[in-house]
Chain A
Amino acid sequence: MPALWIFIAVLVLAVLGFVLGRQRALAMVDGDSRHLHSLPNYYGFHVGIWALVPALLVLAVWLIVQPMLIDTSVQSMIPDTSYATDGELSLVMSDVRRVADGLDLAVERGALTVEEAATLDTGATDVRALLGNVGVAIGSDVQPEVLEAAQAYRASTATGNMARTVIVLLLALAGLGWALRRTAPNFRARNSVEKATLGLLIAAASIAILTTLGIVLSLIFNTIEFFKLYPASEFFFGTTWAPSFGGGSELGILPLFWGTFYISLIALAVAVPIGLFAAVYLSEYAGPKVRAVAKPMLEVLAGIPTIVYGLFALVTVGPMLVNVFGNEGALGLGWMSGGTAVMTAGLVMGIMLIPFVSSLSDDIINSVPQAMRDGSLGLGATKSETLKQVVLPAALPGIVGAVLLAASRAIGETMIVVMGAGAAARLSLNPFEAMTTVTAKIVSQLTGDADFASPEALVAFALGMTLFVITLGLNIFALYIVRKYREQYE
């Protein structure tokens, strides 16, 4: 029975358990629910939970563990002679899986009978053509050992699935029966159900931790794989980025770092002054009418998806900059040869960050106590003097935190640099040249058809790890500063 059907069957059992539990509790007190410890529904839920939860937990674990076990046992069947590296082994294994799936599909479509499928022989039948007929394409002719492994794979999967169905359903029934037996008028059903609910709530809250763990583990394992194939020192200190999928790539991160840093710098140079001045103006000078119009307009900029900014950079801003700074440009400088450049991406990213900086700074400026302003104004300072000499210095740590958060956003931004910054990794000071960033290279290394075992693909995980560590560090530091600062005035 497929997992989905087992799931539905368990669900049906749980509903049945609810009805039975409720009825049984009511029947025990002759329908007078005042004699029950809890409301009748709680007895129903209690039985339902016992039918559902243990069975589903086992099902989930089974779904993860069974393929792993079968993979290891089948892998040991493949002779050492048919593969040289782990990468080839995984290719052979995926062939095995594909043949096994194909045979199942062939049986399902009626192209083979069950016995025929089990006694298939590579000498007698052209397995590849047979599977091709049912729509499963195999890269090369099927070797006898692959077919043998596939048969073993099918057999153990079939046994496993059978055992899974029986055990899960039995467990659901057992849970249902046990909970039903415990049902009694003085059984504290509400407490038991609430405990289970609390468990569910805790599990939901822990997903955040699981996600972080998933991110960290998937990055770490693949990064270690990468460093086995490529020396870490060359990765961190290499000054050339030249991946070639044929081998012999040079994968130094420094040019990518430089591109990321340069673009972020330009973005911050645009966003910080504009965002900060806008926040100061809106919180200290603007009347309620101006504020009511201008603030939402700036916030619209924050709600626009980054793909829109990317296209804006590629199609509008890039050519516009070429018209000004290009060879035939208005200034006749000839600094810029193509639309994709550090300047293009930085400028557009700066626009994107304006609302981010301004709303964060707005919060921070507003949290400076009014008494400080009043004191300064009372001494005869003008509004701008108060701002420059009292409010901003007081808000400075918070604003630094906001800028750091903006920097972490800029470093992690992907779509704008993929579309606006170009693809060439180079170390150059000219902001009108195309450069590339860590995020853009993660995308380009992982969207090709490369196999995940090559250093050219694995390098993306190392890049991701670096990116994750940097942004995490920046965020933690920034949040620490912001929080510290807030406490100061609370």
Chain B
Amino acid sequence: MTDATVQPGAEGRPVKSGSLLEQDARTKRRNAAEARFKFYGMAAVGIGVIFLILLLVSIVRNGVPAFTQTFVTVPIYLPEDKLDKSGVRDPDVMRKVTTFGYAPLLDDALVTKLEDNGIEMPFAKPSKLRDMVSSSAAAQVRDTVLANPDLIGQTVDFKLLASSRVDGYMKGRVTRESLARDKNLDAEHLDIVDQLHELGTLERSFNWAFIFGSDASESRPEQAGLGVSMVGSLFMMIVVLVLSLPIGVAASIYLEEFAPKNRWTDLIEVNISNLAAVPSIVFGILGLAVFIQFAHLPMSAPLVGGLVLTLMTLPTIIISTRASLKAVPPSIRDAALGVGASKMQSVFHHVLPLAMPGILTGTILGLAQALGETAPLLLIGMVGFIASNMPDGVAAGFLSPNSAMPAQIYEWAKRADPAYYERAWGGIIILLVFLMTMNIIAILLRRRFERRW
């Protein structure tokens, strides 16, 4: 063979420059691929963060208006001849005058208000003016009068809820164009609203009733509040805490400290990890079939909701509790056994207290998950129910029908009215505040008490 003398590059390949300082085409391509790949990664993180920001912005922008509400302040004359003909000021007798009896008073008051301030009255019928205030206004006046009969015969200043359309106009949700297709309110109303707003009679102020009030019927979004369903959620969380903490801790202690390696233990372990991944709606079906159909517990009761959520959060709590039990070093157990404690004593006197911060953190996170869960609650009847009354006792709190925060939010979203959408977003803000608080408490607990061995 004489090829030994062939020069490198003789086959037409370019001779490599061999310089480290100058990149050849292939290196450039590889570096470009590297930069591209890194960019994809950054873009993915960026997209995730953008989605989060978009979500938060849309929550805050849509939800914050729910915390303020438009009120109209009007002096209303309460005539004796209409409200209390007998003149004895007995609330039981006065109860005979229904809200229909009070409605004309509102009309008169509004007409007087307009006349006093020189605002032109555009409607033939004074009752048309009443569309500006909530349909609950008459009931509000009636309740005040019944609670304090001595007001009769006087002119009293009432702070009435404006109707949801007027409220929407003040918040920019309702425009004159959109009113053209709406028979609840006319453009003339808005002229009056503008003028009353200038006078300071009609104002937006903070709406405590949204946070602490009760749900209202579909036609009165301005009145609806989250308070009652918050109480429902509270009772559910009590059930979840009382059941899932002891059961979860007991189960974890058994599996982590005592369980022999056998089929039964394996079965339990597999079960727990599978239950953690079962869709939440299936737990709703379980609740419906077992607690309501079979055990005849009352529909929509926070007790049933709490039981279903307990079963759902148990796997989460067991998994985190086992992790914190595992984190306690074996030397602690050995030391306890060495001074004569039984296995049970070593666990309950030494391991469990040391693992407690971790267990509590896991439990709080499990509760937070349960608090936001909606799907199982739909199946046990916590939706479509108007939570209009606070439960009148602890037993009623557990057993009488109620809603829960996420179920209430869903119910509002279902009503498909922009005013209710606003309330649903507002409800979400409250829900997220609760979840955030719970998570912060969990993080603080972990920071404060976590021990590195």
- Chain A positions within 8 Å of B, measured between CB atoms, are 64, 67, 190, 194, 197-198, 200-209, 211-212, 214-215, 218-219, 221-222, 273-278, 280-282, 284-286, 294, 297-298, 300-301, 303-312, 314-316, 351, 354-355, 358, 382-385, 387-388, 405, 408-409, 411-415, 418-419, 439, 442-443, 446-447, 452, 460-461, 464, 467-468, 471-472, 475-476, 479
Residue in A203, A273, A305, A355 whose beta carbon sits within 8 Å of that of B373 in the complex? A305
Most A CB within 10 A of own CB, among B37, B371, B413: B37
Most B CB within 10 A of own CB, among A212, A285, A382: A212
**Nearest residue, chain A, Cβ from B279:** A412
Residue in A281, A385, A414 whose beta carbon sits within 8 Å of that of B281 in the complex? A414
- Contact flag A211-B275 (CB < 8 Å), given A206-B268, A274-B47, A446-B288: yes
* Cβ contact within 8 Å between B40 and A277: yes
Residue in A273, A285, A442, A476 whose beta carbon sits within 8 Å of that of B285 in the complex? A442
The dominant DSSP class at the B interface is helix
How many Å lie between the Cα of A201 and that of B325 in the bound state?
15
Interface residues on B, range: 35 or more
* Cβ contact within 8 Å between B277 and A471: yes
Tell me whether B344 is interfacial, beta carbon within 8 Å: yes
* B43 / chain A contacts, CB cutoff of 8 Å: 277
* Cβ contact within 8 Å between A281 and B413: no
Tell me whether B20 is interfacial, beta carbon within 8 Å: no
Q: A307-B372, A315-B421 are in contact. List 12 more A-B contacts (CB 8 A).
A: A194-B344, A208-B268, A208-B315, A298-B49, A309-B55, A385-B34, A412-B280, A413-B279, A418-B375, A439-B279, A442-B285, A460-B285
* B282 / chain A contacts, CB cutoff of 8 Å: 215, 219, 412, 464, 467-468, 471
B:427-442 near A, CB below 8 Å: 428, 431-432, 435, 439
Tell me whether B152 is interfacial, beta carbon within 8 Å: no
* B253 / chain A contacts, CB cutoff of 8 Å: 201
* Cβ contact within 8 Å between B250 and A208: no
* Cβ contact within 8 Å between B272 and A354: no
* B196 / chain A contacts, CB cutoff of 8 Å: none
* B240 / chain A contacts, CB cutoff of 8 Å: none
* A471 / chain B contacts, CB cutoff of 8 Å: 277-279, 282
How many Å lie between the Cα of A419 and that of B428 in the bound state?
15
**Nearest residue, chain B, Cβ from A419:** B413
Tell me whether B207 is interfacial, beta carbon within 8 Å: no
* A314 / chain B contacts, CB cutoff of 8 Å: 413
B:279-330 near A, CB below 8 Å: 279-283, 285-286, 288-290, 293-296, 311, 314-315, 318
* A273 / chain B contacts, CB cutoff of 8 Å: 44
- Contact flag A310-B413 (CB < 8 Å), given A198-B258, A278-B45, A412-B281: yes
* A387 / chain B contacts, CB cutoff of 8 Å: 37
* A311 / chain B contacts, CB cutoff of 8 Å: 409, 413, 421, 424-425, 428
How many Å lie between the Cα of A438 and that of B372 in the bound state?
22
Residue in B48, B246, B248, B255 whose beta carbon sits within 8 Å of that of A358 in the complex? B48
Binds A, one of B70-78, B156-164, B165-173, B378-386: B378-386
* B295 / chain A contacts, CB cutoff of 8 Å: 64
**Nearest residue, chain A, Cβ from B252:** A205
* Cβ contact within 8 Å between A384 and B37: yes
